[in-house]
Amino acid sequence: MSVIFNMSRRKFRKQMGVTSQPVKETALKDAADGNKQSHKAEVNMTVKGLELEQIVIGTMKG
């Protein structure tokens, strides 16, 4: 893999994390009402032009 590809991939992952973090925090805060809860999460990533689709499933605790 080229250096340019690695840099663009890192930039995309950072952008995805930075833009989603406040949304996740707000949603968990609003749903918690003082209770510790666990929420199933699913992220679907599609890379157009590569015919790539990946689903990541996990749990968020708040």
Structurally, the chain folds into a number of domains equal to: 1
Which contacts (CB < 8 Å, 24+ apart) does range 25-28 have?
28/60, 28/62
The C-alpha atoms of residue 28 and residue 50 are separated, in whole angstroms, by 33
pLDDT tens, position by position, 2-60: 999 899 999 999 999 999 999 988 888 888 776 778 889 999 999 999 999 999 999 98
Residue-number span of the structural domain to which 26 is assigned: 3-61
- Decide: helix, strand or coil at residue 19: helix
| pTM of the predicted model as reported, rounded to 2 decimal places | 0.64
